[in-house]
């Protein structure tokens, strides 16, 4: 099977614009949380989120912004960062061999809400002529392909909070099976809207720690009370090792394994024993041909919900057994919030950065650990600890599970 490597990374998320800014903020243990600024959330139980603080006009003109929902704008900008980072010279590439795989859980939420309002208050004939392409989740991948003329395989993975990780996994498969030489893959999400926040709030999935935004996301803590919504995008350039070497590319890491599974249990809750999550991790390790004790760092899905963090901890213990005592685990969602469909891709970038730098990102706000969750969660401060292999988890509503194994090169 062909070896697949990562040669470019791009992100914009609540911790920073660009991969370098993101990495520095992680190691400093910063929080991207704050009072919601995109709309008046004062009548909601959750009034806080982790927003991307950037003027998109830096990269996109007014015409482009009008034709793209916020999540698509994020994806396109992140892809541009990844493209520049990769050093690809398109005049030397076969554009029919470059694919785009971008996951999104909810699609154009802001565009949907605005046009639904116009339809209700005025007429369906008054909605934007761009409404449908603004709404569709596949438009992130489509816009990236159109910008550079990529004509290889293209796919929008929609597996809730697993979408970004699954996009990377599907790109991995396309490259392994010879459908492409290069893929731009990752995820994007922009669901900090009245319906986006309200819909999660009514099922009590969100934190209500409105008076302490930076302390609100508390994975593995005894007093965690729900997740903090985030937004952003992460795009990685994947290519076959042979192709990367032939063009003299800078190789960051290898995407060595991908495992997926389904809980088949509940609409929103994870399996209480973490069975599906454990299966995804085991499958990723098997594909990577690694034993659990070879994984040095695990970027947990851990969203700061009582049930989710508990189930994931149980799953990790099932898979790693005695090796769990030497495994470093952290949740970067404590800093970024939960980026939903973009989470898996952004956290894959964080995992690659941990491999490269030898510094593991912390789980901030872990002042009162849940005594039932007794793994090494790297509390509050980054840790210098070189590792060779990392595993990144992503789990979503509906019981979707994905795990990625990344290797230092």
Map residue 122 onto helix, strand or coil. Answer: coil
Catalytic-labelled residue, pool 23, 161, 271, 400: 161
Virtual CA dihedral for 57, 61, 66, 72, nearest 10 degrees?
Answer: -70
DSSP conformation class of 399: T
Which one, of 230, 235, 289, lies nearest residue 51 by Cα?
230
Question: 374, 324, 344: which is closest to 220 by C-alpha?
Answer: 374
Structure tokens at 26: 């992680």
Beta bridge partners of 4: 240, 255
Q: Which pair of tokens denotes residue 62?
A: 């007014």
Distance CA 315, CA 310 (A): 9
Q: How far is the C-alpha of 352 from the C-alpha of 246, rounded, in Å?
A: 22
The CA-atom distances, in angstroms, between 277 and each of 51, 199, 324, 394 are 28, 25, 15, 9
- Mark out the alpha helices in 31-130 (DSSP H runs): 62-66, 70-86, 109-121
Angle at 99 between CA 93 and CA 104, to 5 degrees: 145
Q: For this structure, is 338 an active site residue?
A: yes
Q: Which residues pair with 395 in a beta bridge?
A: 401
Query: Tokens at residue 276, please?
Result: 């599906």
183 noted as active-site residue: no
Catalytic residue among 23, 271, 301, 400: 301
Of 178, 185, 182, the residue nearest 249 (C-alpha): 182
Q: Are the CB atoms for 100 and 183 separated by under 8 Å? A: yes
Residue 390 three-state SS: strand
Q: How far apart are CA 395 and CA 400, in angstroms?
A: 6
Task: Say how far apart CA 279 and CA 261 lie, in whole Å.
Answer: 6
> CA-to-CA distance for 183 and 237, rounded, in angstroms?
6
DSSP state letters, 173-236 = HHHHTTS-SEEEEEEEE---SHHHHHHHHHTT-B---TT-GGGS--TTBTT---B-BB-EEEEE
What is d(CA 127, CA 120) in angstroms, rounded to the nearest whole number?
10
Active site residues: 161, 301, 338
């Amino acid at each position: 099977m062909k070896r697949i490597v990562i040669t470019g990374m791009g992100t914009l998320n609540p911790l920073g614009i660009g991969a370098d800014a993101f990495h520095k903020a992680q190691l400093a243990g910063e929080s991207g949380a704050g009072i919601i600024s995109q709309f008046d959330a004062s009548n909601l139980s959750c009034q806080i989120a982790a927003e991307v603080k950037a003027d998109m006009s830096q990269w996109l003109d007014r015409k482009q912004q009008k034709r793209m929902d916020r999540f698509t704008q994020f994806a396109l900008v992140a892809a541009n960062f990844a493209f520049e980072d990769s050093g690809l010279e398109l005049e030397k590439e076969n554009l029919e061999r470059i694919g785009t795989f971008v996951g999104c859980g909810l699609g154009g939420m802001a565009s949907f809400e605005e046009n639904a309002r116009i339809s209700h208050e005025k007429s369906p004939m008054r909605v934007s002529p761009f409404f449908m392409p603004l709404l569709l989740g596949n438009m992130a991948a489509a816009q990236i392909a159109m910008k550079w003329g990529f004509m290889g395989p293209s796919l929008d993975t929609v597996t809730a909070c697993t979408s970004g990780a699954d996009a990377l996994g599907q790109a991995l498969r396309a490259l392994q099976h010879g459908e492409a030489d290069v893929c731009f893959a990752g995820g994007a999400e922009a669901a900090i809207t009245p319906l986006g926040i309200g819909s999660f709030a009514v099922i009590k999935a969100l934190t209500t720690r409105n008076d302490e935004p930076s302390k609100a996301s508390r994975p593995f803590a005894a007093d965690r009370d729900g997740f903090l919504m985030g937004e952003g995008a992460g795009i990685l350039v994947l290519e076959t090792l042979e192709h990367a070497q032939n063009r003299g590319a800078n190789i960051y890491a290898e995407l060595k394994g991908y495992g997926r599974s389904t809980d088949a249990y509940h609409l929103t809750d994870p399996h209480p024993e973490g069975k599906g999550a454990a299966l995804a991790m085991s499958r990723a390790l098997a594909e990577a041909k690694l034993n659990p004790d070879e994984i040095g760092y695990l970027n947990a899905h851990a969203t700061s919900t009582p049930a989710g963090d508990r189930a994931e901890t149980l799953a990790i213990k099932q898979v790693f057994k005695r090796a769990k005592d030497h495994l470093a685990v952290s949740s970067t969602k404590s800093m970024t919030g939960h980026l939903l469909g973009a989470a898996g891709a952004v956290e894959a970038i964080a995992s690659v950065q941990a491999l490269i730098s030898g510094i593991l990102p912390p789980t901030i706000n872990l002042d009162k650990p849940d005594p039932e969750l007794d793994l090494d969660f790297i509390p509050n401060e980054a840790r210098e600890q070189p590792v060779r292999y990392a595993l990144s988890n992503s789990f979503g509503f509906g019981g979707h599970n994905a795990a990625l194994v990344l290797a230092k090169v």
